[in-house]
C-alpha cells in the first residue's frame, strides 16, 4: 500500500497573491508562467496535487514540483525555469576570437567577389579554413552559430553604416565666418528693434532644392470615410512628368522668402535669382548671401555678372565643404518637404511650379524669422 502524500503548507503574501492573479489571467505572459501561477493559486484554494492536476490537465507530479519550489524559493521564483547545466561549448574562445577577427576584414580581401561577408559565406569559409588555422571545432560551424557569436560580440560585418569624412582643411575658419554673419544678424535685429529706420544690410540664406518630382496619379484618390477608411487611398501606379528645381533664399532679418522655380539650376538660373534679389532691395542696400560651394555660385558667368554690379552690392559667405547644415535655409527646405511636397500629386510640371510658388506666397503671408543659435557664442 502506497504512503499518503504529505500536504505542503504554501504561504503566499498579499503582494505576491496579487501578482500571481494578474499573471494567471494574462494573455501576454509566457504560457509556462501562466500555468504555474494557476497551479499555485489552485493549490492555495485546495491543497491537493491530484485535484489541481486534474483541474488544470497536468500531471500531479508537475504540480508537486511547482509547489515545492514555491515553498523553498518563494512563489514568484517558482514561476521561472530552473537553470540547467546544458552542454559544454564545443567552440573555444580562441576560435570565436579568430572568427570575429575574420569578420572585421572584407570578404573581397580574401579572394571572394563579395564586398562584405554574409553570415552564410563566413560560416562556409570558417569550415574550410578554420581547422587549418588550428581551430578544428569550426569544422561543422553553421550559420546560426555565427549569428549568435556576432550578437554576443556586437559585430555586424554584413551591414554598412555611413559617415562623412571632413575633407575641408579650412572647415573651422569657414564655419567661423558663417557664424560671424549670424552674429551680425542678431546685432541688426536688436538695432532694428530700437530704430524705425530700415536696415542698410540684407542677409539672405540661399540654396537650391533640385529634383522636385512632378508625379501624377493614374486614378483618383479616394477620400477617407469615417468608420470605413481612416486615410486617403491612392493607386500604386503613377506617371512622371519630370523634375523642377527650387532656388530660394530667406531674409534672416524679416523672414521673407525669395524664390524661383526653374527646370534646372545652372549659372544662368542663379544669376536670374541674383537679379530677383537686386530688384527686391533698394540700391543702397548691401546684400549678403550665405550659400554653398555649388559650381554655379563661382562660375565665370556668375562672376562676370557680379563684376558689373556696384561695389559692395553683393557679398558671398560660403559654407565649408560638406557643411551645408550650417545654412539656415536647409531647415526651411525640410519644412517645405514635410508640409507641402509630401505626397504631392500634380497633372503637369506647370501645376507643380504654381503650387510651389503658391506655397512661397503663403509662407510670406506669415513670415517666420529663422534664428541660428548653435555655437553662436563662439563666433569672433
Give me the half-sphere count of Cα atoms (radius 13 Å) on the Cβ side of residue 10.
Answer: 30
b/e map 323-355, b = 16+ CB within 10 Å? beebbbbbebbeebeeebbeebebeebeebbeb
Model pLDDT, residue 379: 62
Cell numbers standing for residue 206: 540661399
Give me the residue label for grid cell 550578437. Answer: 151
Taking only the tens place, the pLDDT of each residue in 218-277 is 999 999 999 888 999 999 999 999 999 999 999 999 999 999 999 999 999 999 999 999
Q: What does the alpha-carbon distance between residue 31 and residue 81 come to, in Å, rounded to a whole number?
A: 12
Low-confidence ranges of the chain (pLDDT < 70): 1-6, 378-380
Q: What does the alpha-carbon distance between residue 70 and residue 37 come to, in Å, rounded to a whole number?
A: 10
Residues 6+ apart with CB under 8 A from 266: 296
| Diameter of the chain measured on Cα atoms | 118
Q: What does the alpha-carbon distance between residue 21 and residue 35 come to, in Å, rounded to a whole number?
A: 11
pTM exceeds cut of 0.85: no
Model pLDDT, residue 11: 87
Paired strand residues for 288: 203, 315
Model pLDDT, residue 3: 46
* Three-point CA angle 149, 154, 156, nearest 5°: 85
Amino acid at each position: 500500500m502506497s504512503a499518503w502524500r504529505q500536504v505542503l503548507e504554501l504561504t503566499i503574501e498579499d503582494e505576491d497573491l496579487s501578482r500571481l492573479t494578474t499573471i494567471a489571467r494574462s494573455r501576454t505572459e509566457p504560457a509556462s508562467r501562466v500555468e504555474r501561477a494557476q497551479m499555485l493559486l489552485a493549490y492555495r484554494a485546495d491543497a491537493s496535487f491530484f485535484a489541481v492536476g486534474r483541474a488544470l490537465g497536468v500531471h500531479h507530479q508537475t504540480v508537486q514540483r511547482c509547489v515545492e519550489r514555491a515553498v523553498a524559493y518563494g512563489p514568484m521564483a517558482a514561476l521561472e525555469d530552473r537553470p540547467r547545466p546544458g552542454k559544454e561549448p564545443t567552440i573555444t574562445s580562441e576560435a570565436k576570437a579568430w572568427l570575429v577577427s575574420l569578420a572585421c576584414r572584407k570578404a573581397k580581401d580574401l579572394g571572394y567577389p563579395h564586398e562584405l561577408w554574409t553570415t552564410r559565406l563566413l560560416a562556409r569559409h570558417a569550415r574550410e579554413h578554420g581547422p587549418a588555422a588550428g581551430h578544428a571545432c569550426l569544422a561543422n560551424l553553421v550559420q546560426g552559430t555565427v549569428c549568435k557569436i556576432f550578437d554576443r560580440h556586437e559585430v555586424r560585418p554584413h551591414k554598412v553604416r555611413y559617415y562623412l569624412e571632413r575633407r575641408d582643411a579650412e572647415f573651422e575658419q569657414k564655419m567661423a565666418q558663417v557664424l560671424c554673419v549670424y552674429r551680425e544678424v542678431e546685432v541688426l535685429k536688436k538695432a532694428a528693434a530700437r530704430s524705425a529706420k530700415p536696415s542698410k544690410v540684407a542677409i539672405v540664406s540661399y540654396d537650391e532644392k533640385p529634383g522636385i518630382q512632378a508625379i501624377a496619379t493614374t486614378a483618383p484618390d479616394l477620400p477617407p470615410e469615417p468608420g470605413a477608411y481612416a486615410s486617403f487611398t491612392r493607386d500604386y501606379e503613377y506617371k512622371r512628368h519630370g523634375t523642377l528645381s527650387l532656388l530660394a533664399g530667406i531674409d534672416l532679418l524679416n523672414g521673407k522668402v525669395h524664390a524661383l522655380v526653374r527646370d534646372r539650376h545652372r549659372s544662368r538660373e542663379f544669376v536670374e535669382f541674383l537679379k530677383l534679389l537686386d530688384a527686391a532691395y533698394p540700391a543702397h542696400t548691401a546684400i549678403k548671401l550665405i550659400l554653398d560651394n555649388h559650381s554655379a555660385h563661382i562660375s565665370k558667368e556668375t562672376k562676370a555678372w557680379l563684376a558689373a554690379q556696384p561695389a559692395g552690392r553683393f557679398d558671398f559667405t560660403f559654407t565649408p565643404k560638406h557643411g551645408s547644415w550650417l545654412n539656415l535655409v536647409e531647415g526651411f527646405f525640410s519644412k517645405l518637404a514635410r508640409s507641402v511636397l509630401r505626397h504631392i500629386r500634380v497633372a503637369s510640371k506647370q501645376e507643380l511650379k504654381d503650387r510651389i510658388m503658391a506655397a512661397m506666397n503663403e509662407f510670406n503671408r506669415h513670415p517666420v524669422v529663422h534664428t541660428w543659435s548653435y555655437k553662436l557664442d563662439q563666433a569672433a
